[in-house]
C-alpha cells in the first residue's frame, strides 16, 4: 500500500492532504472538537460509512451530524441493535433474526419460546437506557464466511446461519460489536450507544413470519419509534394519538360507511348507503372533470381469459398478486387485476388515425388483487377495489402536453380536497435489471423517462426521482400526499406504458399514411375509492365538506306541533337533491343537536313558531355555531351554491 498522501475533498471544496488510513473521526477532530462530538457517520464518495472507517484513496468526504436528513435512519438502526442486546440480556435463549430501520422507527424480529407481550416493553426500554448510558463503543469487523458460520453455529443463532448461507461466496461479511454483544450487519453505525440518545419509545408487539413467508416460523416482532430530540418524539406520539381518533376503520363504522363480513371474505368491503354517497360524489367529480378534459367513458368485464394477461405481461410479472385461474369451458379465466389490457382492446376494436389522437378512455373499473391476509388493513389494503382509471393514447409529439395535463388534474383535485402538501415521485428503471424486472427496451426507457422529466419541469411541479421503482412497462409517478395531521399516504399513480401498445399491435395511421405506434399514459388521480376514501376519512376526521358528506343537514323541530312544517322543508330540500334527515323524536332540542354533531352532520335546521310564521329556518353549523334565521328559499339558494362549488367550509 502506498505511503503517498491522499486528497480528501470536503463539501466546501477544501482539499486536505492526509496519510492513507485516515478516518472520518480523525478529520472531524482536526476541524473542531465540537464537530467530532456531534458527528455520527460520514458520506464517503456518496456511500455512508462509520466514522472509524479507514480511507486509503482520494475521496469526497461529508461528515454528517445528528441534524442531517440521514441521521434518523442511522439512529433507528442503532436503536434496533440496542433493543436486541437488551432483549437477549433480559430473556436468555431468545434468538435474533433481522432488525432494520423503517419509516418512523425500527423493529427487530425474535424467536422465543414465550412470545413477548406489551407488559415486557417497559422492562426492555429500561434495559436499553442502561446500555445507552454505558456508551458502549460500536466496533466494525470483517469476518470470512467460515468464521461467521462457526461463531453463529456455536452460539446457536440459526437464523443468522441461514442468512450467511444465502450470501454469495464472495460477499463481505461485517460484524458490529458493542460490549459482549454482536450482530451480523452491513452498517454503518454511530460511534457509541450513547449517540442513540433516549428520544425513543417501544410501541407494540406483533407476530411476523420469518422472511415474510407464511410457511415459515411465526416470530415475535417488537416495533419502536426513534427521533433526534424529545420534541420530535412528542410531536410524533401526538400525531399518532390524533391518527387513532381519526382511524378510518372506527369512523367508517360509526358513520355507517362500510362493513366487512367473514362470510363475504377478508378484504372485500361492503359499501353501506352512506358510503355509497361518497362513492357517487367522487365519481360525479371524476366524470365532470374528465368530460371537460375530453375523456370518453367505457365499461369492461370483471373476468377475462388468461391469454389476455399473457399478452399484457401480467401473468409473467404480476401473477402472485392475482387470484387463481378459473376453468370455464376449458379456458382459464382470471378476475381482473387491472383495467389496462381491456382499454387496449377497446382502442384496438376500431381503426385509428392521427386525427383522433389523443384518445382518452376512462372508467371506474373494479379490480381484484390477492393481498396476503396479514397485509389487509381496513380500506387501505383490500382485495376488491374500484379504480379511477384512464388510458391516454397519443403521439410522441402530444405526450408532454397530455402528461402535464394529467399532473395538473392532480393539483385540481388537491385544491378541491384541501390537500396542501404533496410530492410527486418519478420512479425510474434500474438498467441492470432490464429483461428481468423491466421490459428490455433500453432506448425507450431513456427516451420516455426524459419526456416525463421534461413534462414535470415544464409544469414547475414538485418532484423527486426514485431509481429502481418504475413499473415493468415504463416510468411512473407515485403521488404522495399528507393528511391534515401530517401522515403520508401513497394516493395515486401516473404511468407511461411504451411496451404494451406494440405488444397489443396498437397503431394509428399518421399524416404520411403509415402505421405508427402510440404512446400510452395510464393514470388514476383519485386512486381507488377504497384507499382515497380511507385517506379522506382521516384527512377530514369524518367531517366531510357539505357537497361530499352523506347527510348534509338535519331538521330539528323544537316540538311536535312543528313536525308538519319540518316535513314540508324536508320535501323541498330533497326536491333540490339535498341529502336531509328529520329528527322528530321526543327528545330535548339540545340532545338532538348533540346527536347530529356526533353523527358529523354539518348543518342543523332548527324550526319553531317564528320560523313557521316567516317560512324560514334557523341555521346552526357544526363548527361555526348559530347563523341566525334565513328565508327558506334564500337558504336553499345559498346551500346549492356551496354544494355546486364544492366549498370546503366547515370541513375539518
Give yes or no: residues 536 and 559 share one domain.
no
- Closest Cα to residue 308, out of 331, 285, 280? 331
Give yes or no: residues 153 and 58 share one domain.
no
CATH number for the domain spanning 60: value is 3.10.20.30
Is the pLDDT higher at 613 or at 486? 613
Quote the pLDDT of residue 121. 96
| Domain housing 271 | 258-540
In a domain, 328, yes or no: yes
β-pair partners for 476: 427, 495
Distances (CA, A) of 316 to 21, 267, 327, 430: 49, 24, 19, 19
Give yes or no: residues 191 and 271 share one domain.
no
Chosen domain end from 49, 65, 81: 65
In a domain, 241, yes or no: no
User: In this model, does residue 131 exceed pLDDT 60?
Assistant: yes
Q: Which of 25-39, 214-228, 287-301, 426-440 has the lowest mean pLDDT?
A: 426-440
In a domain, 33, yes or no: yes
Tell me the per-residue pLDDT of 92-120, one tens digit each, with 9 for 90 and over.
999 999 999 998 999 999 999 988 988 89
Quote the pLDDT of residue 323. 92
Q: What is the DSSP string of 566-602?
A: HHHHHHHHHHTT--EEE--SSS-HHHHHHHHHHTT-S
Sign, CA dihedral 90-91-95-99, equals negative
Q: Residues 81, 83, 88, CA angle at the centre, nearest 5°?
A: 95
> For 356-374, what is the mean pLDDT?
93
Quote the pLDDT of residue 436. 76
Tell me the per-residue pLDDT of 246-280, one tens digit each, with 9 for 90 and over.
999 999 999 999 999 999 999 999 999 999 999 99
DSSP H helical segments within 417-528, as ranges?
442-458, 500-503
Quote the pLDDT of residue 366. 94
In a domain, 251, yes or no: no
Quote the pLDDT of residue 215. 86
Give yes or no: residues 134 and 280 share one domain.
no
Chain centre to alpha carbon of residue 598: 29
Q: Residues 445, 450, 452, CA angle at the centre, nearest 5°?
A: 100
Query: CA neighbours within 13 Å on the CB side: how many for 204?
Result: 4
Give the max Cα distance, the chain.
Answer: 101
Give yes or no: residues 124 and 146 share one domain.
yes
Tell me the per-residue pLDDT of 385-415, one tens digit each, with 9 for 90 and over.
999 999 999 999 999 999 999 989 999 999 9
Distance CA 104, CA 522 (A): 31
Give yes or no: residues 519 and 606 share one domain.
no
Distances (CA, A) of 479 to 455, 461, 527, 539, 550: 15, 12, 10, 16, 27
Tell me the per-residue pLDDT of 591-616, one tens digit each, with 9 for 90 and over.
999 999 999 999 999 999 999 999 99
Quote the pLDDT of residue 495. 87
> Can you tell me whether residue 264 is helix, strand or coil?
coil
User: In this model, does residue 2 exceed pLDDT 70?
Assistant: no
Residue 580 and residue 554 in contact, taking contact as beta carbons nearer than 8 Å:
yes
Give yes or no: residues 76 and 56 share one domain.
no
CATH number for the domain spanning 527: value is 3.30.930.10
In a domain, 104, yes or no: yes
Give yes or no: residues 300 and 200 share one domain.
no
> Is the preceding omega at residue 618 within 30 degrees of 0, hence cis?
no
Quote the pLDDT of residue 608. 93
Chosen domain end from 229, 248, 266: 229
User: In this model, does residue 442 exceed pLDDT 90?
Assistant: no
Sign, CA dihedral 610-615-620-626, equals negative
Give yes or no: residues 84 and 213 share one domain.
yes
In a domain, 412, yes or no: yes
Is the pLDDT higher at 336 or at 474? 336
Q: Residues 548, 553, 556, CA angle at the centre, nearest 5°?
A: 170
Number of domains in the chain: 4
Give the Cβ contact number of residue 43 at 10 Å: 18
Tell me the per-residue pLDDT of 8-66, one tens digit each, with 9 for 90 and over.
999 999 999 999 999 999 999 999 999 999 999 999 998 999 999 999 999 999 999 99
Quote the pLDDT of residue 334. 95
β-pair partners for 386: 366
> Can you tell me whether residue 228 is helix, strand or coil?
coil
Give yes or no: residues 56 and 90 share one domain.
no
Distance CA 30, CA 16 (A): 11
Give the helix/strand (H/E) hosting 260.
none
> For 535-544, what is the mean pLDDT?
94
Query: CA neighbours within 13 Å on the CB side: how many for 19?
Result: 3
CATH number for the domain spanning 88: value is 3.30.980.10
Quote the pLDDT of residue 383. 95
- Closest Cα to residue 283, out of 537, 538, 526? 526
CATH number for the domain spanning 569: value is 3.40.50.800
> Can you tell me whether residue 402 is helix, strand or coil?
helix
Is the pLDDT higher at 624 or at 48? 48
Residue 482 and residue 471 in contact, taking contact as beta carbons nearer than 8 Å:
no
Give yes or no: residues 131 and 89 share one domain.
yes
Q: What is the DSSP string of 74-121?
A: HHHHHHHHHHHHHHHHHSTTPEE----EETTEEEEEEE-SS---GGGH
User: In this model, does residue 652 exceed pLDDT 70?
Assistant: no
Give yes or no: residues 471 and 560 share one domain.
no
In a domain, 252, yes or no: no
The torsion angles phi and psi of 400, rounded to 5 degrees, stand at -60, -45
Give the Cβ contact number of residue 204 at 10 Å: 11
Chosen domain end from 514, 540, 566: 540
In a domain, 413, yes or no: yes
Distant-in-sequence, close-in-space partners of 463: CB < 8 Å, separation ≥ 6: 423, 424, 425, 426, 456, 477
Question: What percentage of the chain has pLDDT greater than the value 70?
Answer: 99
> For 545-571, what is the mean pLDDT?
95
Distance CA 313, CA 315 (A): 6
> For 543-558, what is the mean pLDDT?
96
Tell me the per-residue pLDDT of 507-519, one tens digit each, with 9 for 90 and over.
999 999 999 999 9
Tell me the per-residue pLDDT of 142-193, one tens digit each, with 9 for 90 and over.
999 999 999 999 999 999 999 999 998 888 899 999 989 999 999 999 999 9
Question: What percentage of the chain has pLDDT greater than the value 90?
Answer: 75
Spell 9-41 as b/e; 16+ CB within 10 A means b. Answer: eeeeeeeeebeeebbbbbbbeeeeeeebeebbb
> Mean pLDDT across the chain, nearest whole number?
92
Residue 546 and residue 642 in contact, taking contact as beta carbons nearer than 8 Å:
yes
Amino acid at each position: 500500500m502506498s505511503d503517498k498522501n491522499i486528497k480528501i475533498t470536503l463539501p466546501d471544496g477544501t482539499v486536505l492532504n492526509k496519510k492513507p488510513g485516515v478516518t472520518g473521526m480523525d478529520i472531524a477532530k482536526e476541524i473542531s472538537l465540537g464537530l467530532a462530538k456531534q458527528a455520527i457517520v460520514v458520506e464517503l464518495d456518496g456511500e455512508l460509512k462509520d466514522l472509524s472507517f479507514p480511507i486509503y484513496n482520494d475521496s469526497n468526504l461529508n461528515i454528517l451530524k445528528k441534524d442531517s436528513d440521514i441521521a434518523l435512519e442511522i439512529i433507528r438502526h442503532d436503536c434496533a441493535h440496542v433493543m436486541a442486546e437488551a432483549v437477549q440480556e433480559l430473556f436468555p435463549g431468545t434468538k435474533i433474526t433481522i432488525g432494520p430501520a423503517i419509516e418512523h422507527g425500527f423493529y427487530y424480529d425474535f424467536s422465543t419460546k414465550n412470545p413477548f407481550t406489551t407488559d415486557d416493553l417497559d422492562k426492555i426500554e429500561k434495559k436499553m437506557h442502561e446500555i445507552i448510558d454505558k456508551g458502549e463503543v460500536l466496533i466494525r469487523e470483517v469476518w470470512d464466511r467460515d468464521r461467521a458460520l462457526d461463531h453463529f453455529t456455536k452460539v446457536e443463532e440459526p437464523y443468522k446461519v441461514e442468512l450467511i448461507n444465502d450470501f454469495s461466496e464472495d460477499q463481505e461479511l461485517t460484524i458490529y460489536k458493542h460490549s459482549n454483544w454482536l450482530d451480523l450487519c452491513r452498517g454503518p453505525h454511530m460511534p457509541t450507544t450513547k449517540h442513540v440518545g433516549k428520544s425513543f419509545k417501544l410501541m407494540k408487539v406483533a407476530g411476523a413470519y420469518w422472511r415474510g413467508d407464511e410457511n415459515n416460523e411465526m416470530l415475535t416482532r417488537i416495533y419502536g419509534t426513534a427521533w433526534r430530540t424529545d420534541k420530535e418524539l412528542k410531536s410524533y406520539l401526538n400525531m399518532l394519538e390524533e391518527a387513532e381518533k381519526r382511524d378510518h376503520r372506527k369512523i367508517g363504522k360509526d358513520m355507517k360507511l362500510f362493513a366487512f363480513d367473514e362470510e363475504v371474505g377478508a378484504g372485500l368491503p361492503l359499501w353501506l348507503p352512506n358510503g355509497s354517497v361518497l362513492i357517487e360524489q367522487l365519481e360525479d367529480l371524476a366524470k365532470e372533470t374528465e368530460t371537460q378534459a375530453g375523456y370518453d367513458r367505457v365499461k369492461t368485464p370483471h373476468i377475462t381469459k388468461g391469454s389476455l394477461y399473457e399478452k399484457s405481461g401480467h401473468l409473467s410479472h404480476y401473477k402472485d398478486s392475482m387470484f387463481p385461474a378459473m376453468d370455464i369451458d376449458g379456458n382459464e379465466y382470471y378476475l381482473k387485476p387491472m383495467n389496462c389490457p381491456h382499454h387496449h382492446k377497446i382502442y384496438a376494436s376500431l381503426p385509428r388515425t392521427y386525427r383522433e389522437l389523443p384518445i382518452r378512455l376512462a372508467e371506474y373499473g373494479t379490480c381484484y388483487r390477492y393481498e396476503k391476509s396479514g397485509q389487509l388493513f381496513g380500506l387501505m389494503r383490500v382485495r376488491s377495489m374500484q379504480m379511477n382509471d384512464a388510458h391516454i393514447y397519443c403521439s410522441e409529439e402530444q405526450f408532454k402536453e397530455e402528461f402535464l395535463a394529467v399532473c395538473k388534474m392532480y393539483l385540481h383535485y388537491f385544491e378541491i380536497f384541501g390537500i396542501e402538501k404533496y410530492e410527486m415521485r418519478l420512479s425510474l428503471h434500474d438498467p441492470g435489471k432490464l429483461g428481468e424486472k423491466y421490459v428490455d427496451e433500453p432506448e425507450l426507457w431513456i427516451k420516455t423517462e426524459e419526456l416525463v422529466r421534461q413534462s414535470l419541469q415544464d409544469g414547475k411541479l414538485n418532484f423527486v426521482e426514485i431509481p429502481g421503482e418504475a413499473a415493468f412497462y415504463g416510468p411512473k409517478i407515485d403521488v404522495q400526499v399528507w393528511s391534515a395531521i401530517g401522515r403520508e399516504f401513497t394516493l395515486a399513480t401516473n404511468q407511461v406504458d411504451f411496451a404494451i401498445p406494440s405488444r397489443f399491435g396498437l397503431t394509428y395511421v399518421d399524416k404520411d399514411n403509415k402505421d405508427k405506434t402510440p404512446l400510452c399514459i395510464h393514470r388514476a388521480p383519485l386512486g381507488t375509492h377504497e384507499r382515497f376514501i380511507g385517506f379522506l376519512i382521516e384527512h377530514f376526521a369524518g367531517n366531510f365538506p357539505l357537497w361530499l358528506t352523506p347527510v348534509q343537514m338535519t331538521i330539528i323541530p323544537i316540538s311536535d306541533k312543528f313536525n308538519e312544517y319540518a316535513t314540508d322543508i324536508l320535501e323541498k330540500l330533497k326536491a333540490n337533491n339535498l341529502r336531509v334527515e328529520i329528527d322528530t323524536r321526543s327528545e330535548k332540542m339540545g340532545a338532538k343537536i348533540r346527536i347530529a354533531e356526533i353523527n358529523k352532520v354539518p348543518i342543523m335546521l332548527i324550526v319553531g313558531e317564528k320560523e313557521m310564521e316567516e317560512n324560514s329556518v334557523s341555521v346552526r353549523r357544526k363548527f361555526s355555531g348559530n347563523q341566525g334565521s334565513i328565508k327558506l328559499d334564500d337558504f336553499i339558494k345559498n346551500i346549492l351554491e356551496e354544494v355546486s362549488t364544492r366549498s370546503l367550509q366547515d370541513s375539518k
